[in-house]
Structure 1
Amino acid sequence: MNEFIILAIPFLGTSIGAAMVFFLKKQIAPKFEKLLLGFAAGVMIAASVWSLLIPSIEMAEKQHIIEWVPALVGFMAGIVFLLLLDTLIPHLHLESDKPEGLSLGASKMTMMLLAVTLHNIPEGMSVGVAFAGAAMEGSGITKAAALALAVGIAIQNFPEGAIISMPLCGEGIGKKKAFFYGVMSGVVEPIGGFITILIAGKISPILPYFLSFAAGAMLYVVVEELIPEAQNGEHSNIGTIGTAVGFALMMVLDVALG
């Protein structure tokens, strides 16, 4: 299985989820949306630890450098990178009426799509850097592990695709256009993953930093967006249950396939 197929798997998950706009007549129930958001958070937390941070530490040890240095430096760099994007890019979260980022006069729909695109950047990077590691001898990352990460991201992208496209219909956009926008919000994942492969695959000493960088970027999204949205309002325990299920599923996928 080549890198193009693996990189396309998360994008496929987003596209199938966005297609739910053709099959579901009503908006997603708030309780179910909390469950899905929590599930996505759990998958991303587990992927950050098992698929990215632990391999980063193990790879650093093989390179005879202090094990925690690449993990720490890369992780914090990933946090700062997403913080900068979050501060600069104009975007609007689905459950909010207050735009974030620079005020550039963008439409509400555009800012909603930018919010999701911002969310998808670290996911594409994580799959790309995992595949770059799998293609490198002695990295300790197998193609099965990269595939497990791609499948895990795709599973959590499925509900995200629905959460994106269906509210767009609620904004008066037709189903076909809402589906199109939902699909396009996921395009950044394979593009970001491919760019990451090109960079990380050429310079093996920096791969541990790239792994932890992707982990930091994903954890930023989880803490800044997914968990607050899953815990907002009543029935916050539903979001917690979703997080536990998502974490457990991604953990099992990574251990069983990796």
Structure 2
Amino acid sequence: MPGAALLGIAASLFAGAFTGIGGLLVAASGAPDARRQNLLIGFAAGVMIAAAVFSLILPAFAQMRGGGASLAGAALGVIAAVWLGALAMGRLGHWADGLAARGRLPERWGAALGIAQERRIALFIVAITLHNLPEGAAVGISFMGGDPSLGWATMFGIGLQNIPEGMAVAALLASLGWSRSACALAALATGLVEPLGGALAVAVAGLSAAVLPWALGFAAGAMLFVVVAEILPHTRRQIAHGSATPALMAGLALMMVLDVTLA
């Protein structure tokens, strides 16, 4: 059904563009001071934790069960996918560090990756972008079942969830001194990979039912690795600027409410 496939790809593009709204919201508030930087990073961590659990891990488990896996099989499959995602993100960080240390990157990139803050945020952006691929696939495939209302609901649900994700991306880039327009455009760019995920999903619709849960779990593992290994240690070191815990809880609660109510 080519019409449904094209509609699914277009809908995934629309949903991904909602990250730009989040970027604009942060850009409108201007450059943050040290205390606000810490709060924004905490908020980003909360958004990522909730997104990993409610947008990725639980749907991956449900899809594996729906595909005929036993309770234990689905649990082990999701655990394996999460572990692989965390391992891949950890290896990516080591790989980037090694290239920078050996001078194999352009001078500007090598200098940036040699600074812990820039490296941390680079990994965050990679994780957010990676997790948007299976989200785009979910939107695209939702239009292939013959019920357009399910597709529209999925599109708007994921689109609204993308707003705080865009805010998280823009907030971290603002903490590096990026301009308002650059923060907003970068947040938008992370969401614009969703139509790629949508196109891949509709192109291999018969295979996506088996692959999508693994992609969801993989993205969740990547996100959780960045939060645990990079973001949370940073907020603990910046305690002089105020605890980031309230902001983390706010980000987690906001994303959790959006995921649960829009599911």
Please classify the TM superposition score into its range, dividing by the shorter chain length.
Answer: 0.7 to 0.9
Quick one: structure 1 residues 145 and 249, their matched pair in 2 at CA, closer, same or farther if it must change by over 3 Å? farther
Paired position in structure 1 for 2:259: 254
Alignment TM-score, normalising by the size of structure 2: 0.74
What residue identity is the alignment partner of 1:30? A
SS of 2:177 mapped into structure 1: helix
What residue identity is the alignment partner of 1:218? M
Q: Deviations over 1:189-247 (max 9, x none)?
A: 23432332233442221111111112112112212322222222325872111111111
SS of 2:39 mapped into structure 1: helix
Quick one: structure 1 residues 70 and 146, their matched pair in 2 at CA, closer, same or farther if it must change by over 3 Å? farther
What residue identity is the alignment partner of 1:153? N
Q: More helix per residue: 1 or 2?
A: 2
Q: How does 1:58-207 map to 2 (within 5 A)?
A: 58-65=62-69, 66-89=73-96, 103-107=104-108, 111=113, 112=118, 115=122, 117-132=125-140, 134-135=142-143, 137=145, 143-145=152-154, 147-158=156-167, 160-165=169-174, 167-168=176-177, 178-186=179-187, 188-201=189-202, 202=204, 203=207, 204-207=209-212
1 CA distance for matches of 2:78 and 2:103? 31
> Structure 1 stretches of 5 or more lacking a match?
92-98, 170-177
Deviation at 1:253, TM superposition (A): 1.0
| 1:40 and 1:157 in contact (8 A); partners too | no
Paired position in structure 1 for 2:16: 7
Paired position in structure 2 for 1:29: 33
Deviation at 1:166, TM superposition (A): 5.8
**How many positions carry a matched residue from both structures?**
236
Quick one: structure 1 residues 48 and 163, their matched pair in 2 at CA, closer, same or farther if it must change by over 3 Å? closer
| 2:162 and 2:191 in contact (8 A); partners too | no
2 CA distance for matches of 1:6 and 1:191? 9
Quick one: structure 1 residues 102 and 85, their matched pair in 2 at CA, closer, same or farther if it must change by over 3 Å? farther
Moved more, 118-127 or 43-52: 118-127
2 CA distance for matches of 1:130 and 1:37? 28
Paired position in structure 2 for 1:95: none
SS of 1:55 mapped into structure 2: helix
| 1:48 and 1:216 in contact (8 A); partners too | yes
> Structure 2 stretches of 5 or more lacking a match?
1-9
- Structure 1 runs, 4 residues or longer, greater than 6 Å off: 99-102
| 1:152 and 1:253 in contact (8 A); partners too | yes
Moved more, 79-88 or 184-193: 184-193
Paired position in structure 2 for 1:245: 250
Deviation at 1:143, TM superposition (A): 4.9
Quick one: structure 1 residues 187 and 249, their matched pair in 2 at CA, closer, same or farther if it must change by over 3 Å? closer
CA RMSD of superposed structures (Å):
3.3
